[in-house]
Amino acid sequence: MTNLYCSQGHQNPSGSKFCLQCGEKIIETPVNSGIQAGQTLGDRYVIVRQLGQGGFGKTYLAEDINRFREACVLKEFSPQVQTPYIVQKAEELFQREASVLYQLQHPQIPRFRELLRINLQGKESLFLVQDHVAGETYNSLLNSRKQKGLKFTEIEVRQLLEQLLPVLEYIHHVGVIHRDISPDNLILRIVDQLPVLIDFGGVKQVAQTVASQYYQSGVITSGSSGTLLGKIGFAPPEQMQTGLVYPHSDLYALAVTVLVLLTGKLPQDLIDTQNLQWLWRREISLSPLLGDILDKMLSPRPSDRYQSARQVLDALNGKAVNNSPPVAPTVYPATQPPKPTTSPTTAGTIAVSPPKTPAPPAVATPTPQNTSIWTTTNVFIVTVALFSSIGLLWWGISNRGNNQDGSNPDITLSPTPTETPTTPENNFSPEERERKQRLSDRRQQLGIDNNFYISLINQLFWEKNPNIQGRDLNDTPEDEDLREEWDQIAAQTLDKLSLLSSRARRQMGTYTPAERDRWKVEVNRRNVSSRALYDLGDATFFRVFPEYQGKNFIEQPVGQVWHAFVNDKLNAILSNSAFARIVFDPGTTGKTVSGNLQPGGGKVFIAGLAKDQTMEVKLDASSQVLLSIYSPSGKVTFLEDSTVRTVSKTLPETGFYEFVVVSTASKSTDYQLTVTAENPPEPEPTPTETPTETPTETPTETPTEEPTETPEPTPTETP
């Protein structure tokens, strides 16, 4: 008996006409149509069931057999309208959604995995692969409640706003407008009960617009625009009329979504279509605060709306909101990565309480850089920095290295207001002021975020002085020696960080687990595992921070430095400077590669080998060069950071084997790596009483660059 599923994924017994949980009508897919459950695509994704179907194609739930059968979603590119123009435009939009998802790293956004191209039944097919979110859409939740005479409460929708607005602030900050917020595109995730935003890029809506042009021109005479009508009411009028979008376009759609959840009615039933006035107040009664916020989000005039998600959050929290002018539509300038949320820090030489784990940019709520920076707080800070001799209060908030008066930008007071402002450097000797200025100049030259810099040096300082952990250093002579030690640690650390690329340095303080997941996807495409990537990063990191060998430091500020080194090694692998493929020459069963490793350097080699072959590996190098050998699936580790120089093994599986060499030497060193692989001998024939001929020897096959099976390696757990 075959189970049936509705579009929300609810399981129902065979023969069901309507979903037993949400009441949706079930459309049973013919057995011989499309992709079937159990089918494997790309030798990697096993189809579990179909999730839904739209104008772009079908969406499937699948399991990734190369990642411990993790659940994922495959969105098929198969537009129903098959004219050359429609296919071309639809593929462009599909690629756009993939590129948008690739940029976004947020725990409330499904992670993009890859764009999969395969030949399916003689036709090239395109699939977008992303993480599966276990949960129900808010539309499904609303339908279930309506059957019981219930809707969402004000408390619930307010919580939804507070949990989702930071997500919108994040995507707007990186220059992305969702375009299609509605109850269908929000999922309440089971594991943590957080809303997850799906279907980015506005692909479906724009594709329907392209198709609609053909309907109207008469080139296409069949089809329906019903799906397109389903979006009317959620998007603001100017978006439907011109296609131009702004951050407040998403805020408008979010407000409509809230009203639909509160009333259980469609947008068309809540608005006067003649004058675009919303009539929701005749349906429900809300608190004055939330009611006024929704009215402002839904204002017919875009300039009267909130211009950013941060402004809505401030309004929800009772803070004064100062509308800034609308930002430019659609195209956003490049911005820096979002900064983690941290508490105000004190001077570069004044230790503060140990920072907690740096918040990922996904969770933090950074202020978009294309909005006005002249908030009341910032004006106050700049005024104090410029006119410190005036009797204004100084609250010790760092100005992130942008003081305009030429004073040390990394020195502020401890966050304790005083009636008469003082400047810490006034109590320092000329030598100390000069030392601090050099540190400040060096930090800014390296492009390191000041807040992260303070957190990192504080951690290193306190680890060397555990007896004063958490105590602030003051500007008195009693703490002069401690301030000097802090500065020395800072100078040494800046020298170590100079080994990183400028891009990796700028990102310190913003690396997240989602970033590590993205790295895994990147190296897996090269048939390299994350374990091999981390071997390269470890070699460089532990060379300059050997005291952290064997310690758990990933969630500490110094863990961000480790991420930066791994990020550089990722780019080295992708550029082939730290990666090579071993290919046997025709007629040979082995290959020798050689090179030179700089201190802390390393390289990953892969070779396509077959199951049951006999592999022999020999490394000629000093004892300070370590060797690791991993099987394709990662299930077998032949060597790991080992000084063993020869290995002989019968291979347990077919695929790309990894050979990682790293140097722990203090100077450059040479190496030579030899890999051979012999096929197993043919079994001897069973002897007979009167053998008529002597069996000939079967020639040994030479493994090729692409073995019969080449599964991607399974990434290992993060350290």
The string of pLDDT tens digits covering residues 436-445 is: 999 999 999 8
Task: Say which CATH topology domain 31-132 has.
Answer: Phosphorylase Kinase; domain 1 (3.30.200)
Burial state string for 167-178 with b = 16 or more CB within 10 A and e = fewer than 16: bbbbbbbbbbbb
Span 41-65, average pLDDT: 85
Give the pLDDT score at 681: 77
pLDDT more than 70, % of the chain: 68
Angle between the 557-574 and 480-497 helix axes, to the nearest 10 degrees?
Answer: 10
Q: Check residues 414 and 682 and name the one with the higher pLDDT.
A: 682
CA distances from 372 to 159, 324, 326, 369 (A): 27, 6, 10, 8
Instruction: Give the Cα separation of 407 and 385 in Å (integer).
Output: 9
Q: Is the pLDDT of residue 698 over 80?
A: no
Q: Which of 64, 131, 180, 410 is catalytic?
A: 180
Tell me the H-state helices in 199-308.
Answer: 203-217, 226-229, 237-242, 247-263, 288-297
pLDDT band at 97 (very low <50, low <70, confident <90, very high): low
Whether 609 shows a pLDDT value over 70: the answer reads yes
For residue 513 the two structure tokens come to 């687990």
75 is in an annotated binding site: yes
What is the mean pLDDT of the segment spanning 609-637? Answer: 94
Exposed e or buried b for every residue in 325-336, given b needs 16+ CB within 10 A? eebebeebeeee
Mean pLDDT of the chain: 76
Q: Residue 216: pLDDT above 90?
A: no
**Are the C-beta atoms of residues 105 and 361 closer than 8 Å to each other?**
yes
CA distance 41 to 139: 30
Confidence class of residue 237 from pLDDT cuts 50, 70 and 90? Answer: confident
Give the integer Cα–Cα distance in Å for 562 and 719: 11
Per-residue pLDDT at 26 exceeds 70: no
**Is 192 part of the annotated catalytic residue set?**
no
pLDDT at 93: 67
What pLDDT is stored for residue 70 in this prediction?
A: 86
180 vs 17, more confident: 180
Q: How many CB atoms lie within 10 A of CB 277?
A: 10
DSSP-derived letter for residue 575 is T
388: pLDDT strictly greater than 60:
no
Average pLDDT on 613-627 reads 95
Mean pLDDT check: name the lowest of 70-84, 218-232, 276-290, 473-487: 218-232
Mean pLDDT score, 619-628: 95
Q: What is the pLDDT of residues 103-140, one digit of tens each?
A: 788 889 988 888 788 887 777 788 888 899 989 999 99
pLDDT of residue 696: 38
pLDDT given at position 392: 29
Fill in the DSSP letter of residue 100. Answer: H
Which residues partner with 73 through β-bridges?
61, 130
Read off the pLDDT band of 9 (50, 70, 90): low
For the chain, the distance separating the N- and C-terminal CA atoms, rounded to the nearest angstrom, is 44
pLDDT confidence bin for 641, thresholds 50/70/90: very high
Rounded to an integer, what distance in angstroms lies between the CA atom of residue 640 and that of residue 630?
A: 8
CATH code: domain 136-210+229-317 is 1.10.510.10
Average pLDDT of span 586-596: 93
Q: Identify the pLDDT of residue 86.
A: 63
At residue 35, the pLDDT reads: 86
Residue 395, pLDDT above cutoff 80: no
Q: In CATH, which of 2.160.20.10, 2.40.30.10, 1.10.3210.10, 2.60.120.380 is domain 505-678?
A: 2.60.120.380
**pLDDT at site 424:** 53
Between 12 and 249, whose confidence is greater?
249
Quick one: pLDDT at residue 701? 37
Q: How large is the average pLDDT for residues 672-683?
A: 88
Query: Which one, of 334, 401, 339, lies nearest residue 366 by Cα?
Result: 339
Lowest mean pLDDT among 123-132, 245-254, 409-418: 409-418
Q: What is the mean pLDDT of residues 464-484?
A: 86
Sign of the CA dihedral with 145 first, then 75, 111, and 172 last: negative
Phi-psi category of 193—alpha, beta or left, where left has phi over 0 and alpha has psi -120 to 50?
A: left
pLDDT at position 79, please? 60
Tell the residue number behind the tokens 């599986």, with chain if given: 653
Please state the pTM of the whole predicted model: 0.45
**Helix 557-574 / helix 450-464 crossing angle, nearest 10 deg:** 120
Beta partners for residue 581, in sequence order: 606
| pLDDT at residue 470 greater than cutoff 60 | yes
Residue 214 has pLDDT above 80, yes or no: no
Print burial letters for 388-404: b (CB count within 10 Å at least 16), e (below 16). beeeeebebbbbebebe
Give 536-580 pLDDT, tens digit per residue: 999 999 999 999 999 999 989 999 999 999 999 999 999 999 999
